[in-house]
Amino acid sequence: MKPSSFTQPGYRVTADADLTHHNSFRVPARAQWLIEVDDARALPEVFGLGAVKRSPLLILGEGSNVLLTRDWPGVVLAVAARGIRVLEDRGDDARMRVEAGENWNEFVHWSLGHGFAGLENLILIPGSVGAAPIQNIGAYGVEVREFIETIEAFDRHSGQLGRLDNAVCNFAYRDSLFKRDPDRFVVTSVEFRLPRQHELRLDYAGVREELAAMKIDAPNPAALAEAVMRLRTRKLPNPAEIGNAGSFFKNPVVPSALANELRRENPALPAWLGNAGQCKLSAAWLVEACGFKGLREGDAGVSERHALVLVNHGTATGEQIRALAQRVVDTVQTRFGIRLEPEPRIV
Ligand code: FAD
Ligand code: EPU
């Protein structure tokens, strides 16, 4: 692979590629090779290339959940295949195959426009369809795992394309088989089953109030999607305006006894009861209580809109953002005894 860029049927290779516009923090980084695959059938050939066999691999979608702290000394592989196809329509619901390179939000709009329900709470989440199962994206009381039937992926262990049923993906809050074993599976497409009618999820804080403000008392999926878009636009900084990766930390899940103890000392700390005596705490509240909201160190900062969102005000490097994240983790640990875990992949 000598020339700086070349195209083959199904993929395109660029040498010494600039990744600044391939990550939503918009931090500078380069990859030795960037391979953009627009046809999954080319993957066996791609994985046969000498450079791919010899060098470290990083799979990238739209880069909205990664923090690049250095140049990548190997191959960055992006699945760019597009397409949405209804495979089976049973009337009450339908099964559809969506290629990994489709944009998630565009697919949600497509589903609503074709009369399907289910994904309305997940509208406006950035990124690709192929990345949606990696951390089991979730918002406003819904997780994508509820609608995934099967995932097609290239397994680097076997060197073959295969299918993984929902049950083997070990989906959990911001977690899956894929997140625990990164870069083994290249997700090439996702099969969803979406209903035409379903009970809307309105219980997440602020949703009913937003619908009331919109003067809607009998919402349909499109109205709920509109309410969620309004909430998200108000709460979260827009990565097109200021670099960020959404929540930088996961909400910590702790034993209920510990949550109760913390809440005795900090009655305002939001906590949600989970399964098996566990409680989810608000990481945003913990970070804000430590005084980080709106803080800025050079161009690395914590959003003034949402304490869980680290931002790049302009020319921050990934390393500067990582250093700020570490300060947040250490301070929250010292003050509350809770160790926050990052949500994005730190490269
Ligand atoms: P990338 O950032 O490119 O990759 C993320 C991870 O997935 C990496 O580990 C990468 O190696 C892996 N990966 C990507 N594509 C593939 C593939 N085809 N095969 C195998 N592995 C792959 N997330 C939520 O869950 N809920 C939210 O409400 C939410 N809000 C957000 C708001 C903002 C403003 C931003 C910037 C991010 C938000 N996120 C949210 C995080 C992000 O949108 C999701 O994690 C999204 O799924 C990332 O998609 P991506 O294509 O950008 O993946
Ligand atoms: N809060 C603060 N300070 C803030 C912001 C929030 O104290 O600056 C407290 C408030 O009490 C608020 C509570 O935190 O009621 C929860 O806030 P929010 O509804 O914004 O949700 P979150 O827990 O901070 C999670 C997800 C988001 C998702 C929203 C909506 C995680 C790590 N984050 O945020 O996902 O959009 O819920 O469901 O679970 C992402 O993963 O990147 C992401 C943005």
Each residue's pLDDT tens digit, 266-292: 999 999 998 889 999 999 999 999 999
Ligand nearest to the CA of 290: 2
What is the model's pLDDT at position 230?
Answer: 98
Return d(Cα 179, Cα 165) in angstroms, integer. 16
34-81 tens-digit pLDDT: 999 999 999 999 999 998 999 999 999 999 999 999 999 999 999 999
With a 6 A CB cut-off, is 233 part of the ligand 1 pocket? no
Q: What angle do CA 39, 129, 42 make, to 5 degrees?
A: 15
CB 61, CB 183: distance < 8 Å: no
Q: pTM to 2 decimals?
A: 0.98
Phi-psi region of 294 (alpha: psi -120 to 50; beta: other; left: phi over 0): left
| DSSP-assigned letter for residue 248 | S
CB of 109 shorter than 6 A to ligand 2: no
Q: Are 82 and 101 in contact (CB under 8 A)?
A: yes
Tell me the mean pLDDT in the region 315-336. Answer: 98
Q: How far apart are the first and last CA of the chain?
A: 25
Instruction: Tell me how crowded residue 31 is: count the other CB atoms within 10 A of its CB.
Output: 25
Span 115-131, pLDDT tens digits: 999 999 999 999 999 99
Q: Identify the active-site residue in 99, 322, 343, 345.
A: 343
Q: Annotate 195-216 with b (16+ C-beta within 10 A) or e (fewer).
A: ebebebeeeeeebeebbeeeee
- Given a cut of 80, is residue 228 above it in pLDDT? yes
Annotation says 149 is catalytic: no
- What local confidence, expressed as pLDDT, does residue 51 receive? 86
Is 327 designated active site? Answer: no
178-211: pLDDT as tens digits: 999 998 999 999 999 999 999 999 999 999 999 9
Cα of 135 vs centre of ligand 1, distance in Å, is: 7
- Main-chain phi, psi angles of 34, to 5 degrees: -115, 125
Structure tokens at 186: 């290249």
Rounded Cα gap, residues 277 and 193, in angstroms = 31
- Single-letter amino acid code for the residue at 55: S
Q: Is there a contact between 17 and 60 (Cβ–Cβ < 8 Å)? A: no
194 close to 147: Cβ distance less than 8 angstroms: yes
Tell me: pLDDT of 3 over 60: no
Question: Sheet harboring 5-8: ordered strands across?
Answer: 5-8, 11-18, 30-37, 72-79, 57-60
For ligand 2, the distance from its centroid to the CA atom of residue 284, given in whole angstroms, is 6
190/81 Cα distance (integer angstroms):
12
Say if ligand 2 is within 6 A of residue 210 CB. Answer: no
Measured distance CA(190)–CA(98) in Å, rounded: 5
Measure 144 CA to ligand 1 centroid, in angstroms: 12
Choosing from 66, 105, 125 the residue with most ligand 1 atoms within 8 A of its CB, the one to mutate for a pocket test is 125
Q: Which residues are CB-neighbours of 275 under 8 A, at least 6 positions away?
A: none
Average pLDDT, the chain: 96
Instruction: Please name the residues in contact with 89: beta carbons below 8 A apart, sequence gap of 6 or more.
Output: 95
Distance between CA atoms of residues 35 and 131, nearest Å? 17
**Number of C-alpha atoms within 13 angstroms, CB side, residue 122?**
26
Name the active-site residue from 176, 247, 282, 303: 247
Measured from the CB, is residue 186 less than 6 Å from ligand 1?
yes
Tokens of 3: 């020339």
CB 17 within 8 A of CB 38: no
Q: Is the beta carbon of 284 within 6 A of some atom in ligand 2? A: yes
Which of 65, 107, 204 for mutating ligand 1's site (highest number of atoms within 8 Å of CB)? 65
Closest CA to 186 of 158, 224, 207: 158
Q: Is the pLDDT of residue 148 over 80?
A: yes
**Active-site residue flag, 343:** yes
CB atoms within 10 A of CB 105: 17
Segment 234-262 shows an average pLDDT of 97
Q: Is the CB of 64 under 6 A from ligand 1?
A: yes
Average of pLDDT values for 328-332?
98
Q: What pLDDT digit, counting tens, does each position of 81-125 carry?
A: 999 999 999 999 999 999 999 999 999 999 999 999 999 999 999
Question: Which residue has 């005596």 as its token pair?
Answer: 277
Sorted by where each starts, the structural domains of the chain and their CATH numbers stand as: 5-79 (3.30.43.10), 84-195 (3.30.465.10), 243-346 (3.90.78.10)
- Is the C-beta atom of 343 inside 6 A of ligand 2? yes
- How many angstroms separate the alpha carbon of residue 156 from the centre of ligand 2? 35
Residue 42, helix vs strand vs coil: helix
Bridge partners for 194 per DSSP:
94
| Cβ 270 under 6 angstroms from ligand 2 | yes
